[in-house]
Amino acid sequence: MRTFFRDEGGVGAIDFALIAPMLALVLLGIISSWSYYLQDSDMRDSVETAGKYYIQGGTNDATALSIAEAAWDDKPSDGTVALTRTCICAGAAALRIRSS
C-alpha cells in the first residue's frame, strides 16, 4: 500500500486534466473577444467612410447612409446605420452617424 501512495507516475496526467479545461476556456474567451473586436472595428470603419464623404464636400444624407452601409463588411442581419443632423451653423452641418 505504501508503494501505491509513493508512485508519482500519473501526477503529470492529473495536472494536465485539471489545467486543460481552464486553458480551453481562456482560449475560447480570447477567440470570442477577438471576433467582437473585429465586428466593432468593421462597423466603425464604415461610419468613418461616411464621415469622409462629408469631409470631401458631400452634402446628401442618403448618399452618406448608402456609403456607410456599403462599406460595412459582414454586416449582421439586424445591423443599422442612422444619421442625425444635430445643428447647422453658418452653412456647416454637424452630423452624427451611428451604427448598431
Confidence check: pLDDT of 4 > 70: no
pTM attached to this predicted model: 0.61
pLDDT at 37: 92
Confidence check: pLDDT of 3 > 90: no
Confidence check: pLDDT of 95 > 80: no
Q: Is 95 helix (H, G, I), strand (E, B) or coil?
A: strand
Which residue do the cell numbers 480570447 mark? 30
pLDDT at 28: 96
Single-letter code of the amino acid located at 38? L
C-alpha distance from residue 80 to each of 7, 20, 26 (Å): 63, 40, 32
Count of CB atoms situated within 10 Å of the CB of 54? 19
CA distance 62 to 7: 75
Residue-wise pLDDT tens digits, 60-74: 889 998 998 889 888
